[in-house]
Structure 1
Amino acid sequence: MQTEQLWLKNAQFFDEIDRMLQDGHSVTIRAKGSSMFPFIRNERDSVILQDSKDIAVGSIVLARLQNRSYVLHRVYRLEKEAIVLMGDGNLYATERCCRNEVVGVAVKIIRDGRYVDCTSRKELFKAWVWRKLLPVRRVLLFIGRRWWI
């Protein structure tokens, strides 16, 4: 069976995701890039997104940044006027966005046919530990990328 493909520009693709989430649907997207390694792996994992009403430190969110690009990163810090995001695979780089620029929140990761609940205590604890390991993350990422990729 042949699968049809539809090619869209990123802006069209993410605008449609935004619209579907606002309409109450959940959306599944394939992960691209390594900024969320080791929790989400490029081209292997998919992420199920839902609307963005519940945002907390540790949540994985899809956000539209000021330059109209989109990122799927973890909420690193909540500030009065902004949300600070950081990819799990990043060492220093953060992004800032407003709450209304968060398009959706990841609720599950699909990995090798299994569903991983991003909101479970276990996953949030692993994310908390990973955040605390930020000072040694460079070494851990080097080892992890050589071992798992």
Structure 2
Amino acid sequence: MNNIEAILEKEGYFACTTVGLSMYPMLRNRKDTVVIYSVNRCLKKYDVLLYRRGNDYVLHRVIKVLENGYLIRGDNCFYNELVLDNQVIGILGLFYRNKKKIKISDWRYVCYYKCWCFIHPIGVIFIRIRTKIGCMIRYVSNKI
């Protein structure tokens, strides 16, 4: 059993800073802190779950509940993945952004994920274009 799973089993929750861009814009790389809880209920659409992919831990959103698992996707990803029930380690309970506590029951968070999932393909394309433009601006600024 890995440390995260051991902590979840002992304490019931685990907190850490996120690494990666797959859940952007909700979670920012190395800036936001998530609190993961042991799963004590049936997962449902829009829940954010922690699961193991090989040696890595991944935090992605449930897009569809299946008979023996979940179809999931990161907020900043185009592709869905199948995660089986036995791969699920925990569920996102809350997160901290700029030291502000955001509960998953907060109405602003609920609006975010419902809107984001609705506009997902357009939103991801917009973020990637904005990122490319920012990179080009920084490149040109460094050349001047």
Per-residue deviation at 1:135? 3.1
CA distance in structure 2 between the aligned counterparts of 1:138 and 1:25, rounded to whole angstroms: 33
Alignment of 1:52-67 (within 5 A): 52-54=39-41, 55-65=43-53, 67=54
TM-score for both structures, normalised by structure 1: 0.79
CA distance in structure 2 between the aligned counterparts of 1:146 and 1:117, rounded to whole angstroms: 32
Return 5+ residue gaps in structure 2 as ranges.
Answer: 136-144
Indicate whether 1:50 and 2:37 are aligned: yes
SS of the equivalent of 1:133 reads helix
SS of the equivalent of 1:115 reads strand
TM-score for both structures, normalised by structure 2: 0.81
SS of the equivalent of 2:71 reads strand
Per-residue deviation at 1:56? 1.5
AA of the residue aligned to 2:44: A
Instruction: Say if 1:52 and 1:104, in contact at 8 Å, map to a contact too.
Output: yes
Query: Taking structure 1 as reference, are residues 48 and 97 closer, same or farther at Cα in structure 2, changes over 3 Å only?
Result: same
Instruction: Say if 1:64 and 1:97, in contact at 8 Å, map to a contact too.
Output: no
- The structure in which a higher percent of residues are helix is 2
Instruction: Say if 1:77 and 1:85, in contact at 8 Å, map to a contact too.
Output: yes
> 1:5: which partner in 2?
none
Aligned-pair identity (%)? 21
CA distance in structure 1 between the aligned counterparts of 2:109 and 2:31, rounded to whole angstroms: 18
- The structure in which a higher percent of residues are strand is 2
Instruction: Say if 2:64 and 2:71, in contact at 8 Å, map to a contact too.
Output: yes
Query: Which has the higher mean CA deviation after the structures are superposed, 27-36 or 47-56?
Result: 47-56
Instruction: Say if 2:75 and 2:120, in contact at 8 Å, map to a contact too.
Output: no
- Which of structures 1 and 2 has the bigger CA Rg? 2
Indicate whether 1:85 and 2:72 are aligned: yes
CA distance in structure 2 between the aligned counterparts of 1:145 and 1:45, rounded to whole angstroms: 19
Return 5+ residue gaps in structure 1 as ranges.
Answer: 1-13
> 2:118: which partner in 1?
132
Instruction: Say if 1:58 and 1:124, in contact at 8 Å, map to a contact too.
Output: no
SS of the equivalent of 1:35 reads coil
